[in-house]
Amino acid sequence: MNNTELLKVYEFSPKIRLGTTRDDGYVCEDIGKYDCIPQILAIIPARCGSKGIVDKNIMLYKGKPLLAWSIEEALKSKYKLRTIVSTDSEHYASIAREYGGETPFLRPSDISLDSSTTLECIRHCLSWLKSHESYVPEVVILLQPTSPRRTVKDIDACLDLFLANKNAYDSLCTLCEADVSPYKMFSLINGLAVPLFREVAGISEPYIQCRQALPMTYSQNGSIYIFHPINVQTNTYLGEKIIPYIMNDYLDIDSIDDFM
């Protein structure tokens, strides 16, 4: 299913009318479908302690620090995103500010470890903004710096889709077609190879069937996540009802070769 087909699945029904003024006094201008811009926070997580590639988030990719690509594309959005870089490094923060990102705080070291989760980063950012600025966004978009090929076109298309359906769904996640079907995978249990699936869609032993005969599966590509702030009160930011956005043209930087 492509994104054009997805738009037919999800009902486009923006309820904001032309000429309205937001609660904070902002007068809406030239926004296309959404004439009153919701308060959307873009969070770009960029800690400095990467072990696989030292200083990965500020390494040069096509002439710019890696995190700069996400900042610049976020700032181009028609939704006027407030763009915050969450980092534990003042050096990283200064680079982020050069490209227009906000760095109102440094992330605490105890949630900037190899074992720290993105959820901890998000929770800290939202909590800090609420306690220090009384700022609570209506929607959050997470943009990982390791996805430099993601453009403002992708960002706005995903926001269009989520905002039109935000009352019915918990989140949106960008996906790509899976390279390997999970229906052909095994676990090793007590020395035995155990299929993850013994049957799928009426097909027995899918692990020995040709891939084309099996249902299409997708992987998250890490480019864009959009969600309600209230989600983080649980142990997830995506929730259960997730809108898919198919995005097969992407780059997820994971090794030094990806910078070439």
SS3 content of the chain, % helix, strand, coil (to 5): 30, 20, 50
Same domain, 112 and 197: no
Specify the pLDDT at position 3. Answer: 61
Specify the pLDDT at position 97. Answer: 98
Same domain, 100 and 229: yes
SS3 177: strand
Q: Show the domain range for 91.
A: 3-178+218-259
Same domain, 149 and 74: yes
pTM as predicted: 0.84
Same domain, 154 and 187: no
Same domain, 225 and 122: yes
Same domain, 186 and 248: no
Same domain, 128 and 201: no
> Domain holding 107: CATH number?
3.90.550.10
Contacts of 141 (CB under 8 A, 6+ apart): 40, 41, 42, 43, 74, 81, 155, 158, 159, 224, 225, 226
Same domain, 114 and 196: no
Structure-block tokens of residue 5: 């087909």
Same domain, 195 and 97: no
Specify the pLDDT at position 36. Answer: 61
pLDDT average per 10 residues of sequence, the chain (260 residues):
53 34 40 64 92 86 95 97 97 97 96 93 97 96 95 96 95 94 96 96 94 92 96 92 92 73
Distance CA 251, CA 258 (A): 8
Same domain, 80 and 37: yes
* Cα atoms in the 13 Å half-sphere on the side-chain side of 233: 5
Give the distance between the most distant pair of CA atoms in the chain.
67
Query: Which residue, among 25, 6, 149, 31, has the nearest Cα to 81 in the 3D structure?
Result: 31
Specify the pLDDT at position 28. Answer: 43
SS3 49: coil
User: In terms of C-beta distances under 8 Å and separation of at least 24 residues, what long-range contacts does 163-169 make, across chains too?
Assistant: 163/14, 163/34, 163/38, 163/139, 164/10, 164/11, 164/12, 164/13, 164/14, 164/33, 165/10, 165/11, 165/12, 165/243, 166/139, 166/228, 168/241, 169/241, 169/242, 169/243
Same domain, 73 and 186: no
Burial class (CB in 10 A: 0-12, 13-18, 19+), 249: exposed
Same domain, 105 and 131: yes
| Number of compact structural domains in the chain | 2
